[in-house]
Amino acid sequence: MILDRFGMTDKVAIVTGAGRGIGAASAVSLAEAGADVVISARTADQLGEVAKRIEAVGRKAVAVPADLNDLEAVAALVEHAREAFGRLDLVVNNVGGTMPQAFMDTSADVMEQAFHFNVATAHALLRPAVPLMLEGGGGSAVNISSAMGRLTGRGFLAYGTAKGALAHYTRLAATDLAPHIRVNAIAVGSVATSALDIVMQSDELRTAMEAGTPLGRIGDPEDIAAAVIYLASEAGSYVTGKVLEVDGGTEAPNLDMGIPDV
């Protein structure tokens, strides 16, 4: 049956930024599809709650509290997977984010930090993951990028440039690692996570953002988790080096950030 191709039974995944939002939804969805999951984020309490949800569906969770801005801590997650499960089939790189800033407020240091947090962290996890994946015959990676990696809007110089770089990293890594390891990305639109708390708490801002989205709503983390399952599972086995746009049809920023002209 076609639904069988979406199963992840007895696979092992690492999901970063898994304490809440897209990371948590992806980790739980992978468990619901049959995978055991190594989850990591800064806050232990949040990870504990996600681990309980994973275990509630009959799968195993290894929670690793860590500062994922530390590349050594990111790389160490692979050894956690090896020690706990002896294999690794999937990594979901969900670390990233950069606050909007005006052009003249975006220093070279801010640009470097954006690349570090949004791109270097993905490579820091995927590179040590490759040998362990190959021991099991292959695997896949899903990088969480952003619609702002291809759209233009005031204030997104550092974030959009870094996410654009992550998208092209995805294409290049997919070429390097084919045919045994697939690498894809998701260009995420406006999703109801903590990053949108201010919007979600304001009827005016939420209405404006919904109006600026062709599908007329803000995304749910499970919308992204569903795409993760597709790309990670056998259902996506003929897909690599691609950026799947899950953004409600957005072709322009759907909220004015109030960034002034130069």
Q: How many helices (H) and strands (E) does the chain have?
A: 9, 7
Helix H, strand E, coil C: the string for 120-175 is HHHHHHHHHHHHHHHHCCCEEEEEEEEHHHCCCCCCCHHHHHHHHHHHHHHHHHHH
Residue 208 CA to residue 72 CA, distance in Å, equals: 41
Residue whose entry in the numeric block shows the structure tokens 């709503």: 217
The radius of gyration of the chain's CA atoms, rounded to the nearest angstrom, is: 18
- Rounded distance, CA 182 to CA 188, Å? 19
- What whole-number distance in Å separates Cα of residue 2 and Cα of residue 120? 36
- CA torsion angle 116 96 230 137 (round to 10): 30
The verdict on whether 159 is a catalytic residue reads yes
The catalytic residue among 159, 169, 230, 238 is 159
CA–CA distance, 262 with 250 (Å, rounded to integer): 26
Catalytic residues: 159
